Structure 1
């Protein structure tokens, strides 16, 4: 083996590259100084002065003890490598302890060159995991590592391979000893979680490159505030360190992280890790409000919320179920306001506050019906026309419940300033790189307070004031374009039309947005040293940055166009929603507010089909962050999905509906059922033309309960409009248009029983609402004719509706 074969910059076939990188699956030796190899090929060839122990020339660095020249040093190092390999092959592990090569390096050589028939060296090259498995003090530095390997080998089962055994030893270590990371100021500012790859519990398959296109395999992470995300490890430098590609600005903000704080990473299972703050950092649950944070030493457990996550208001028609959802939603979102404005006279204030929360996107309202489907509720494939090609394409579109869940996970990870005046500002939609493949462009823009565009490569358009001038610059850099081509339009918009103090909305695909910013500079062209073409630049003050992105319904009236940049005009963007998003939060206000989904007539839809697999995930114990949390892969998007713990479901159910029977089994375990019976007492003191409505309703319901059941009684809401209207004609309208039609439906037009409910059989003529026909079937067809029952021939008497005695008669018999 020559020196060039041992080490050479950029050569992936050298001995040291194989040991450090290509044989990673057999234990990592990344990190530390390259001097562990004895001699190494320098990447930085600038002059560097050595000292008594280290030597450098223009190409190599080496330990001076091995020789005065690179070749002389390599000859000695090669001898040590060979000696380690021969000692390992012969089982003389004690000789390897004395090798001057780096400890992890020499033992990795030993692992690969030991006898395959009787291996002694596990592919773990750190002392502490070995000591932990052997139940020895982690501070032990006296026991030679060769002795530790021999002791360890005695625990390997005869049928167990050395690699499988090494994995068992390593898992025992990482499961019991979390990785601890001390945060720097830069880490807190930028959301970095930097890890030492030597001691990190991650498989090498997770190690990716600098760009998203070079990402490694991802694992699932969960924080102690209940946030779930997937990430790989973005490897930096020479491979000794890396960081989670996912930035944790929001998490750091929620726990109040500062430089010097310790963050731990526990491996929970293969491909699953938990991130938590050490005991002196107190996480504040923000990603999922209402779910208690894990109890650390300095954290007091929170009282569980008394408001159920899933509830159904059930009762007969007209009992105010939908009416009550306003108060139920405020109980979740603004309990203080509800407490101050809970009187019946304050209903307009409650409704106004409710409407404001709807505008903020915190409340969604949907009505189930027979045609409502999983695709409407969760996600489905929808057809759309491509704006550029005109071709029909199919894309996965989120349903109302998935949109609400995603928005419930969204947190403001960056914000600036107080509310701003939108007057006179133009608002632009802007794409910052392709959201699927160029995530690093967006991250760079947010981190550096800029907006970048990639059209035109590195060309400078500063002097261009017209489309023609922009066209000439494109031609000068080898991109001849027609005057109407979109790149010219995009550059003209970015350079000439967008002005300082204008706002930009950064889209993520066509259905989400992830940031809102204010333009603070004129256009400039910047140098790019990373090989990409994003050189067109404007400075931006980021007003809001969201993670994950918000659904477009939180801001837009229609979906975003695929165009890179264009103006958002009135009718496209909802300015009221924009003002709400930019509204400054009060001190102490939650970073992530709960969300409420109101499902009216929940029993009229096919619940099993609409909820699908989510019927399990909505259970409080299965919500994200809960001890028994579950997630599933959605069928269309093929992405993992869980239900946040701050999403509340409020359903209404009409007990008179015939579709109720099959619903109890499906929902009883997942929802708390709150009965809303008729409340005649709410009509106390309401008298119309001398008729006491409280007694009237109570009497009607007692008769219905006897003849039918309590699920088909009449609700008080039918009569509430009469509180301020004592006109008999208004009472007659309620009976004619609401009460009688409902009784017809209840009794399947069995007029005899309807007459009994109204006590018509004991009223004088002219006061009966239901009367028999003036003829009989026998008179019409003869005595021998078989005709339908005369019960169907009954009819309403219009005279009865206008007489107070008709209504008195319903009540009086009850007193007799």
Structure 2
């Protein structure tokens, strides 16, 4: 057997023997940026390909993990109470896998509740390598294909453990590593794009099934917000817990991570808040104006960034340049860098407070000011990426002028590049695949990605979905808010689609497009505005899902003989007759009611105020909807105009006056007042 691979195998087992795993702390298990952790050794140790790859899932597959932007703060799967509890349960699972792998009890590994590929790689690493029972191929789809096509075994109802045992029983004298590599090349490579475990497929399946732009519409209280949370979690591929609090907690976590954004439209909301606009910035006595990105542009950039293969050389270089430039700019702004030495003179550096631009001043007596362009500097950065090439220039004025297309300013740019090679290049800092980049670095990568003819996309299954939720979408002026971007949200016009469209934004002059992995979910109350009166541009680009009151959800709910299902049905039938179906009452108002006091409160604070709004205080109709149950009191005649005959006024003195039953009245506490909504008072 290959000696080098055997040594790597033993090296792992020595470093992470069973006792070390038992004594392992959370920080030793997983910590962003640290290589001597259990998870790093399992996934990346010496990058030995023949040990098998775990595929997608990111750090989430480890159950508890931290990120580079805050290594001390841990995230964990929502089924656990806290990070320490998550770690202890995962460690217990790992110890079980170690024992089961050593005892060759593969059938029991299938039931251990951690990420599939992760647990099978652990099993591979802890088996007896001289008498192996686990092949380093961990994806169920590939194992099933090997069983069927290589050995003629039907695997439809087989677990991964059973398939592992079947495949290993067919192994001859060939060593485990060569055996795995041969089968992977034959069955794994050709199905690489589809080689995603079931856990990692959840989001893709939902993303393909669900529309990109959806509006949930209906009367108040029909559960639109409730449904939005569930729909968002479905798109994200999350199993929705039955417990509502847990579902909301998961939803909130994705919001904190920036994968979900929530916004409410209103009459004053505009393009400047939604896409981008110019905002004043006051520093001391100085005022300047800066372009600020809105919520739609921000989440679009984040979603676009998730499409980019950051591991490619060009993308690493772009991020490296942006990191250097921002650091250099900040050092000049803070006064840490005041001047640099060029080959012939000193170049002073400063930031113009009025336009926030970077300038260089020649110190040769000419006092010439040169505005330093980030775009030109980046062009030179890529052209002279090699240190030897930069310092090997014989006539830098001539050569750099040819690159720049002009001669003026070459000394200034040479000085900045010299500073880069002297202070940054030697560090040889690499942007790693999982490293968290800052906003400017993401922006630079996204803009390059949009303008590039040959884009380097990630694998489809590695791209995460992003969700923008727009509450009360019909209350905003859609043309004013979306502007020219309304066309770009169409699925066929998104980045990567055949009919992809991009626009140049009016304030920043940046290229912009909407990514395929951005989902837009809107909600609207039909009491505010009917769909028939909505902006046609919006109607064409969204799919609409009607959410009407569902009295059946109240079936069996009864309070002192008051059947909630029947009274909601009766109220809504009358509203439809007197007004329309879009102004009915939603079932959500009664879902959590479990007492007469609860009924009293919901009628006083929710249902009657809604009826007042619907019928413009026409209490005769409100009373009719409530079936004259006594909540609305009527006075048949009035004596307030005793001398009406002496007045020259056209007043109907016989018009009845209505009043709502006082909130303190004991009638609210009687079941009969609610029962009579459903039936006539003289019914038995």
Normalized against structure 1, the TM-score is what?
A: 0.43
Q: Which residue of 1 aligns with 2:660?
A: 796
1:689 Cα deviation from its structure 2 partner: 2.8
Paired residues of 1:597 and 1:647 also in contact (CA < 8 A): yes
Paired residues of 2:320 and 2:430 also in contact (CA < 8 A): no
Decide whether aligned partners of structure 1 residues 352 and 314 sit closer, same or farther in structure 2, where only a CA change above 3 A counts. same
Decide whether aligned partners of structure 1 residues 670 and 547 sit closer, same or farther in structure 2, where only a CA change above 3 A counts. farther
Decide whether aligned partners of structure 1 residues 547 and 649 sit closer, same or farther in structure 2, where only a CA change above 3 A counts. farther
Distance in 2 (CA, whole Å) between partners of 1:456 and 1:602 is 44
1:608 Cα deviation from its structure 2 partner: 1.6
Paired residues of 2:615 and 2:622 also in contact (CA < 8 A): yes
Q: Which residue of 2 aligns with 1:604?
A: 475
Decide whether aligned partners of structure 1 residues 441 and 549 sit closer, same or farther in structure 2, where only a CA change above 3 A counts. closer
1:19-38 paired onto structure 2 within 5 Å: none
Matched, 1:360 2:257: yes
Q: Which residue of 2 aligns with 1:372?
A: 269
1:692 Cα deviation from its structure 2 partner: 1.1
Q: Which residue of 2 aligns with 1:315?
A: 218
1:460-499 paired onto structure 2 within 5 Å: none
Paired residues of 1:374 and 1:612 also in contact (CA < 8 A): yes
Distance in 2 (CA, whole Å) between partners of 1:635 and 1:480 is 35
Distance in 1 (CA, whole Å) between partners of 2:669 and 2:499 is 62
1:359 Cα deviation from its structure 2 partner: 1.4
Matched, 1:410 2:311: no
Q: Which residue of 2 aligns with 1:592?
A: 463
Paired residues of 1:361 and 1:554 also in contact (CA < 8 A): no
Matched, 1:732 2:635: no
> For 1:786, what is the secondary structure of its paired residue?
coil
Q: Which residue of 2 aligns with 1:787?
A: 651
1:699 Cα deviation from its structure 2 partner: 0.8
1:623-772 paired onto structure 2 within 5 Å: 623-658=494-529, 660-663=531-534, 665-722=536-593, 725-726=594-595, 728-760=596-628, 763=629, 768-772=630-634
1:545 Cα deviation from its structure 2 partner: 6.2
Decide whether aligned partners of structure 1 residues 380 and 622 sit closer, same or farther in structure 2, where only a CA change above 3 A counts. same
1:677 Cα deviation from its structure 2 partner: 0.5
Decide whether aligned partners of structure 1 residues 780 and 282 sit closer, same or farther in structure 2, where only a CA change above 3 A counts. farther
Matched, 1:399 2:399: no
Task: Tell me which protein shows more helix as a share of its residues.
Answer: 2
- Kindly provide the CA deviation profile for residues 88-139 of structure 1, in whole angstroms up to 9, marking residues without a partner as x: xxxxxxxxxxxxxxxxxxxxxxxxxxxxxxxxxxxxxxxxxxxxxxxxxxxx
Paired residues of 2:214 and 2:543 also in contact (CA < 8 A): yes
Distance in 2 (CA, whole Å) between partners of 1:354 and 1:330 is 7
Decide whether aligned partners of structure 1 residues 656 and 451 sit closer, same or farther in structure 2, where only a CA change above 3 A counts. closer
Decide whether aligned partners of structure 1 residues 810 and 675 sit closer, same or farther in structure 2, where only a CA change above 3 A counts. same
Paired residues of 2:218 and 2:582 also in contact (CA < 8 A): yes
Distance in 2 (CA, whole Å) between partners of 1:780 and 1:590 is 81
Distance in 1 (CA, whole Å) between partners of 2:526 and 2:299 is 28
Distance in 1 (CA, whole Å) between partners of 2:274 and 2:504 is 16
Distance in 1 (CA, whole Å) between partners of 2:676 and 2:579 is 21
1:356 Cα deviation from its structure 2 partner: 1.4
Matched, 1:621 2:508: no
- Kindly provide the CA deviation profile for residues 249-277 of structure 1, in whole angstroms up to 9, marking residues without a partner as x: xxxxxxxxxxxxxxxxxxxxxxxxxxxxx
Paired residues of 1:413 and 1:544 also in contact (CA < 8 A): no
Matched, 1:813 2:680: yes
The Cα RMSD (Å) is: 4.8
Q: 1:327 aligns with which of 227, 230, 236?
A: 230
1:349 Cα deviation from its structure 2 partner: 2.1
Q: 2:391 aligns with which of 518, 529, 532?
A: 529
- Kindly provide the CA deviation profile for residues 603-640 of structure 1, in whole angstroms up to 9, marking residues without a partner as x: 11111211111221111122222222222222222222
**Which structure 2 segments of 5+ residues have no match?**
1-188, 195-203, 349-372, 375-387, 393-413, 444-457
Decide whether aligned partners of structure 1 residues 808 and 444 sit closer, same or farther in structure 2, where only a CA change above 3 A counts. closer
Paired residues of 2:300 and 2:518 also in contact (CA < 8 A): yes
Paired residues of 2:301 and 2:442 also in contact (CA < 8 A): no
> For 2:586, what is the secondary structure of its paired residue?
coil
1:729 Cα deviation from its structure 2 partner: 1.5
Paired residues of 1:750 and 1:792 also in contact (CA < 8 A): no
Decide whether aligned partners of structure 1 residues 663 and 780 sit closer, same or farther in structure 2, where only a CA change above 3 A counts. farther
Task: Tell me which protein shows more strand as a share of its residues.
Answer: 1
1:772 Cα deviation from its structure 2 partner: 2.0
Paired residues of 2:213 and 2:520 also in contact (CA < 8 A): yes
1:802 Cα deviation from its structure 2 partner: 2.3
Distance in 1 (CA, whole Å) between partners of 2:264 and 2:212 is 19
Paired residues of 1:409 and 1:548 also in contact (CA < 8 A): no
Distance in 2 (CA, whole Å) between partners of 1:775 and 1:303 is 63
1:237-316 paired onto structure 2 within 5 Å: 305-316=208-219
Distance in 2 (CA, whole Å) between partners of 1:709 and 1:473 is 75
> For 1:612, what is the secondary structure of its paired residue?
helix
1:456 Cα deviation from its structure 2 partner: 10
Q: Larger relative contact order (C-alpha < 8 A, sep ≥ 6)?
A: 2
Distance in 1 (CA, whole Å) between partners of 2:329 and 2:631 is 78
Decide whether aligned partners of structure 1 residues 471 and 367 sit closer, same or farther in structure 2, where only a CA change above 3 A counts. closer
Larger-Rg structure: 1
1:394-473 paired onto structure 2 within 5 Å: 394-411=289-306, 413-414=309-310, 443=320
> For 1:810, what is the secondary structure of its paired residue?
helix
Distance in 2 (CA, whole Å) between partners of 1:665 and 1:632 is 21
**Which structure 1 segments of 5+ residues have no match?**
1-279, 286-300, 417-438, 458-466, 482-507, 510-525, 556-586
1:385 Cα deviation from its structure 2 partner: 3.1
Decide whether aligned partners of structure 1 residues 548 and 355 sit closer, same or farther in structure 2, where only a CA change above 3 A counts. closer
Q: Which residue of 2 aligns with 1:776?
A: 638
Decide whether aligned partners of structure 1 residues 646 and 440 sit closer, same or farther in structure 2, where only a CA change above 3 A counts. closer
1:191-230 paired onto structure 2 within 5 Å: none
> For 1:305, what is the secondary structure of its paired residue?
helix
> For 1:403, what is the secondary structure of its paired residue?
helix
